[in-house]
Structure 1
Amino acid sequence: MTAYIDPSRANFDAFKALPRDEPIHMLNLLLYRDRAEYPEGHEHAGKDWTGRRAYEEYGKTSGPIFRRVGGTIVWRGAFQTMVTGPDDRRWHDGFVAQYPNSAAFFEMIKDAEYQQAVVNRTAALADSRLVRFKPSEGGEGF
């Protein structure tokens, strides 16, 4: 099974080519490592943290930057079962992050403090998905 933690160059280029001046929703699916894997010499290396604990650290350290650029969480949930999809695919958590536009997302990921914080995300995750959506109105129908 191929793990996806960071975007490929082609996927990131496709993301950058989309409109930058409209709100975006980012679906995040997370599968944590049993034990976080920090680079040697990192301040959290050797603490024997779980992947979930390392992701909590990511949230704590990246949260102020996320909020500063206008980000909010519009939905969050804990995985229960796969209804449609591969039986062997499991996620621990999922959430939808909303940004006022993709420029806000770029501002976040270019921030020097965020770049330090993202080490926690990388250490935490065995696999993930990050999918951009253009928000639209909810309602009763599909």
Structure 2
Amino acid sequence: MAVDPKISDIQRFKQEDTGGPVVMLNLVRFKQDGGRTTYKEYANAVLPFLKKVGGQPLYVGDCSTPLVGEPGQLWDAVLLVRYPNRSAFLQMAMDPEYQHVSKLRTAALEEAVLQATTPWPGSP
């Protein structure tokens, strides 16, 4: 199950860069033994790195029973984080100090979706 991006994922992410803002959708499923606690530790530790690149959390919340969904599509939490552009996200991800902190994320998660989204023209 996927938790961290592969090199090929990062290359594709860079190639699809429009130069504009990006909101990263995070769907996460925590490991049973302490995953939620470890992820909260990560969430607090990542804030200075977000601020450094101009990123900002827009929404963080727990998921409940899906209204529409298939087995295996149950998630524990959802997070939306805005970055000025994909380069800012990559700058954060490549920071050696952040990479140390990101080990908490990896340790906390059983599975994740990290999906870049871009605003529709004319949307707020």
TM-score, normalised with respect to structure 1? 0.79
**Equivalent residue for 1:40?**
none
Secondary structure (helix, strand or coil) at the match of 2:111 reads strand
How far 1:89 moved relative to its partner?
A: 2.5
- For the pair 1:66 / 2:50, whether they are aligned, the reply is yes
How far 1:63 moved relative to its partner?
A: 1.3
Deviates more, 1:10-19 or 1:127-136: 10-19
Matches within 5 A, 1:42-53: 50-53=34-37
Q: Where do 5+ consecutive residues of structure 1 fail to align? A: 36-49
Secondary structure (helix, strand or coil) at the match of 2:75 reads coil
In 2: Cα distance, 1:66 partner to 1:120 partner: 16
Judge conservation of contact 1:23–1:134 (CA < 8 Å) in 2: yes
- For the pair 1:102 / 2:86, whether they are aligned, the reply is yes
Q: Residue 77 of structure 2 aligns to which amino acid in structure 1?
A: D
- For the pair 1:79 / 2:77, whether they are aligned, the reply is no
Q: Residue 68 of structure 1 aligns to which amino acid in structure 2?
A: K
Deviates more, 1:53-62 or 1:120-129: 53-62
Q: Residue 71 of structure 1 aligns to which amino acid in structure 2?
A: G
Q: Where do 5+ consecutive residues of structure 2 fail to align? A: none
**Equivalent residue for 2:73?**
89
User: Greater CA radius of gyration, 1 or 2?
Assistant: 1
How far 1:133 moved relative to its partner?
A: 0.7
**Equivalent residue for 2:29?**
31
Match of 1:115 among 99, 120, 123: 99
RMSD: 1.5
**Equivalent residue for 1:11?**
9
**Equivalent residue for 1:57?**
41
Q: Residue 110 of structure 1 aligns to which amino acid in structure 2?
A: M
What do the CA deviations read for 1:56-77 (whole angstroms, capped 9, x no partner)?
Answer: 1111222101111111112222
Aligned residues: 122
**Stretches of 4+ moved more than 3 A in 1?**
none
Judge conservation of contact 1:20–1:103 (CA < 8 Å) in 2: no
What do the CA deviations read for 1:73-121 (whole angstroms, capped 9, x no partner)?
Answer: 1222211122222134211110111000111101101111101000100
Higher percent of residues as helix: 2
The percentage of counterpart residues that share the same residue type is 32
